[in-house]
């Protein structure tokens, strides 16, 4: 199961909407061994394509150095699909190189690139080519984390 802070969830969806009609991509890093996605890192889709994403190799190298310096690892690797459902494509599966990560897909098809229209947000584990969907729980901050600020609550959420 992926447990993700509301602010990070919303930032991923906003990035997907902002980059539409091209696919958006990025990483959410967190402390090694925590399975807690805390540091949202939107990346440039070097492919600038509506059907494919590719991390810029220089940006990716810098990110991995930062994570190493901060004792972090990629907890979430995310990207969007602009015309298809939020499910890993064969290419996505072939490129999944982080067996411990949650692979999040956001679909901005059918008008979901517009604020106010629900975007499909799903998470998967991809290990050795096998895809397993997992439940996503969105929280308003982590109860035992005193270093992060919880996302503001809204009367409409719940």
3-state SS, one letter per residue, for 123-150? EEEEECCEEEEECEEEECCCCCCCCCCC
pLDDT for the residue 145: 61
Dist. CA 143–CA 150, nearest whole Å: 9
- In the prediction, which pLDDT does 155 show? 36
- pLDDT for residue 156 is more than 80: no
- Looking at every residue in the chain, the average pLDDT score rounds to 90
Q: What is the mean pLDDT of residues 104-109?
A: 96
Average pLDDT over residues 43-71: 96
Q: Full-prediction pTM beyond 0.75? A: yes
Average pLDDT over residues 81-86: 96
Give the chain's domains with CATH numbers. Answer: 2-139 (3.40.140.10)
- What is the C-alpha separation between 18 and 35, in angstroms, rounded? 27
């Amino acid at each position: 199961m992926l447990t993700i802070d509301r602010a990070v969830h919303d930032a991923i969806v906003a990035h997907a909407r902002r980059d539409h009609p091209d696919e958006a991509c990025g990483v959410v890093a967190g402390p090694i061994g925590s399975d807690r996605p805390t540091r949202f890192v939107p990346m440039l889709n070097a492919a600038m394509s509506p059907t494919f994403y590719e991390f810029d190799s220089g940006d990716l190298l810098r990110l991995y150095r930062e994570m190493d310096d901060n004792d972090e690892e990629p907890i979430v690797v995310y990207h969007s699909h602009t015309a298809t459902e939020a499910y890993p494509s064969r290419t996505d599966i072939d490129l999944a190189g982080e067996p411990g990560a949650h692979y999040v897909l956001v679909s901005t098809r059918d008008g979901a690139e517009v604020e106010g229209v629900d975007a499909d947000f799903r998470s998967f584990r991809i290990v050795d080519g096998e895809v397993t969907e997992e439940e996503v729980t969105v929280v308003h901050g982590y109860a035992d984390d005193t270093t992060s600020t919880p996302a503001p609550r809204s009367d409409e959420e719940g």
